[in-house]
Structure 1
Amino acid sequence: MELTQDNKKLLAGGTAIALVAAIGGIVIGQSMSPSQPDQTAAAEAGEEGEEEGHGREGFVEMTPTRLQSSGIRTTEVEAGSLASEIIAQATVAAPPEGEAALTARADGAVVRINKRLGDPVKAGETVALIESRDAASFVAERSAAAARAQAARAAYAREKRLFEAKITARQDLEAAQAALAEAEAELRRTQAATAAANVTGNGRYLAVTSLISGRITEVSTQLGAYVLAGAELFHVANPNRIQIEASVPSVDAQRIRPGDPAIIELPGGGSVDAVVRSATPSLNPESRAATLVLAPSGTPAGLTQGQAVRVRIMPRGAPTDGRIVLPEEAVQSVEGRDVVFVRVKGGFQAVPVTVGSRSGGRIEILEGLKPGLQVVTQGAFVLKSQLGASEAGH
């Protein structure tokens, strides 16, 4: 069929309209849809908590400087359950090298006291002086022994010269040698006795010196008091040396081994990590409980010798069923959801969790966390407040 001139004009116009519409659709489509590389970059920035603008939901930015002054503390998540934890009452005590009793080495009268209750003292420092007749006796014995030793050395030297000149017999030389050895042994004994009694240079006083560095925690004497040898005059303790002694029932003690992790709960709030150091092989006859010795990490502030605390011991190898136990303070409610704050790059991320049982200020996490993460256990409410203020501003 042949096309008329009018039909040709209509066909050309329709084709032009269709071509323009197609080109316009392509241009509009490109302008309305974001490119794929931009979406990927935004997702990666969101994962790192560094996306421009509001950042991802639940993220709280925190610089290292602000973190140090905020009072926020984190703990690495470990598997555990409330059923496997052992709660015990404990006492902060001094280890054997952390305290010392200062006693009188001989009978005498206290004529000088250099330290008062609570004063610091260094190892070897003189705390008091005792005037004692035994001090003069020690010095006199040492002087007499020194004179005898000197005479014995001279006699041995003379006999040695005579023997070498073949004037005296060998037995005379051997007798002089034996007498010298005996005299030197007596001199060493008197020198050791004088040093052990801490006799001062003039031979009149006995010095009471501290065995360790620390503070005077007890004074059991006064000026002019006559004391007997062995009487305890002062007590010194080093506040930087502490250990935790926990009383645990025998059934629970059988589950605990040296090296098991533990947590010391401070009376004013917060906690300190510790490990089980040892356990007594026998039970206390009154309480029927075993005593465990825990070593805290470092020298934590807030622990004083004689203080009562509570400890939580987590025996290794106990069944956990994939659960995690945290302080109740670590779990915060945000918009009706239970969340914990996990340490991420640049700050903290609120992570929804499913909680389980609660007991004694502890709570089980059933889902939402895995071991190895750094979770806020103290100061989580601060992050919750900052998160709420940030979302309100946005």
Structure 2
Amino acid sequence: MVPLFRFVRLPGALALLTLAACSGEQAAPANDSAAARPADGSIPLTADNIARLGLKFGAAVAATEAPIAVVPALIAPPPNARVAVAATFPGVVTRILVVEGEEVRRGQPLAIVSSRDVLSMGADLNRASARLGVAQSSASRLSQLEREGIIAGARADEARAVLGEARADVSEKSRILTMVNGSGASGTYMLTAPIAGRVTSAAIHAGSVVDGTTAPYMIDAAGQYEAQAQLPERLAGQVKPGMTVALGDDLRGTVTTVGSTIDPATRSVTLKARLPAGPGAMAGRATSLSIFGPAPTGAAMVPAAAVTTLPGGDVLFVRTRAGVVARPVKAGGKDGDHVLILSGVKPGEQVVVAGTSALKPLAMGE
């Protein structure tokens, strides 16, 4: 009689089994999975199998935070981080040095303004300096005469008082010109950036008229942003100041305030969060903000690539002494490229983080 054979696929090798070898006997059906799989359902793996399948392992990490919700938000500068650059004296803009959208450093020139007031102040400073020179000479001469007893001390005191007034006058006019970066000789002064940041508004052009009541430039401080969002009523009691928020995968900030009054139209409260500078942080941008709260006890974080789906639901391939076992898990929300695992795996356990697609057929007995 012709013997009947059947090939059964085992990890890394093929086993040849004799199913029937005698006349008139019918081959008994064989359960391949049972023959190849230990009783605990694990998949035996050797070092050679692991290398051939391209498997990589990583430890599940204890989770400290868990995603609560994702809400729409608007990025804005904090109230104390926006500075208006005012035109100190009326005049005409002669030159623009910085345009809207540019990054500036503190003290950087923004524009040059020609002003009649600055020209007049320059002339006043020259006259005050001349009077100061005369007052210094007079005070020195009268002080000498006082020491020699030629004149009364009152005359010398009067001269010294005039000298003090002249010095104060020169000092004040010099201080004002220095403060506005003005040049009395040319009659111009310079608008400069009071802080480092980004120019968010530049309502100015060459030839435009400015005065002391206008603010030609608005500058937002570098590295400081505020996210403003509407938090649904159901989350109003869960989210508290100090919790973490995330913009994208890398940029993280902190909840600063949560409103205490529910808007009857939107059934939401206002949430504000502080954000550092980074990708996606731009004043005026509408975006989505992820909110995180404390993670449940025993929860773990694993790379998103480690979680795969079998007919029964989500699983992780957890390493055992003999190989791996497909462990059903309950997944929570995502945090960037990681997934929160609420149950099914313990922090510290080794899981497959690359090559799960090669294990799925073996887990399903194919």
TM value normalised by structure 1: 0.60
Change (3 A) 1:119 1:79: closer
1:77 to 48, 59, 63: 63
Deviation at 1:122, TM superposition (A): 3.6
The answer for the alignment partner of 1:388 in structure 2 is: 357
Q: Distance in 1 between matches of 2:132 and 2:234?
A: 65
Letter in 2 for 1:167: I
The answer for the alignment partner of 1:311 in structure 2 is: 289
Q: Distance in 2 between matches of 1:163 and 1:251?
A: 87
**Residue 293 of structure 2 corresponds to residue 293 of structure 1:** no
Deviation at 1:116, TM superposition (A): 3.5
Change (3 A) 1:356 1:329: closer
Q: Deviations over 1:283-339 (max 9, x none)?
A: 79998844523234xx432322222233344456xxx65364879957722545524
Identity %: 21
Q: Distance in 2 between matches of 1:341 and 1:144?
A: 88
Question: Helix, strand or coil: the match of 1:127?
Answer: strand
Change (3 A) 1:166 1:305: same
1:263 to 240, 245, 248: 245
Change (3 A) 1:167 1:239: closer
Q: State whether residues 219 and 234 of structure 1, in contact with CA within 8 Å, keep that contact through their aligned partners in structure 2.
A: yes
Q: State whether residues 262 and 311 of structure 1, in contact with CA within 8 Å, keep that contact through their aligned partners in structure 2.
A: no
Question: Helix, strand or coil: the match of 2:216?
Answer: strand
Letter in 1 for 2:307: Q
Q: Distance in 1 between matches of 2:325 and 2:173?
A: 74
The answer for the alignment partner of 1:279 in structure 2 is: 257
The answer for the alignment partner of 1:366 in structure 2 is: 342
What runs of 5+ residues in structure 2 fail to find an aligned partner? 1-45
Q: Distance in 2 between matches of 1:61 and 1:327?
A: 13
Q: Mean Cα displacement is larger for which, 354-363 or 218-227?
A: 354-363
User: Which protein has the bigger strand share?
Assistant: 2
Change (3 A) 1:192 1:249: farther
Change (3 A) 1:332 1:86: closer
Q: Distance in 1 between matches of 2:283 and 2:240?
A: 25
**Residue 147 of structure 2 corresponds to residue 169 of structure 1:** no
Aligned pairs, number: 308
Question: Helix, strand or coil: the match of 1:192?
Answer: helix
The answer for the alignment partner of 2:122 in structure 1 is: 139
Change (3 A) 1:55 1:360: closer
**Residue 156 of structure 2 corresponds to residue 178 of structure 1:** no
Deviation at 1:79, TM superposition (A): 5.5
The 5 Å alignment of 1:194-343 reads 194-200=177-183, 202-237=185-220, 240-248=223-231, 258=241, 260-266=242-248, 270=249, 272-276=251-255, 278-279=256-257, 289-296=269-276, 299-314=277-292, 322=297, 324=299, 332-336=307-311, 338-339=314-315
Letter in 2 for 1:54: N
The answer for the alignment partner of 1:27 in structure 2 is: none
Q: Distance in 2 between matches of 1:101 and 1:303?
A: 21
Deviation at 1:133, TM superposition (A): 0.7
Change (3 A) 1:235 1:162: same
Change (3 A) 1:364 1:166: same
TM value normalised by structure 2: 0.64
Question: Helix, strand or coil: the match of 1:184?
Answer: helix
Change (3 A) 1:392 1:290: closer
Question: Helix, strand or coil: the match of 2:254?
Answer: strand
The answer for the alignment partner of 1:7 in structure 2 is: none
User: Which protein has the bigger helix share?
Assistant: 1
Q: State whether residues 59 and 387 of structure 1, in contact with CA within 8 Å, keep that contact through their aligned partners in structure 2.
A: no
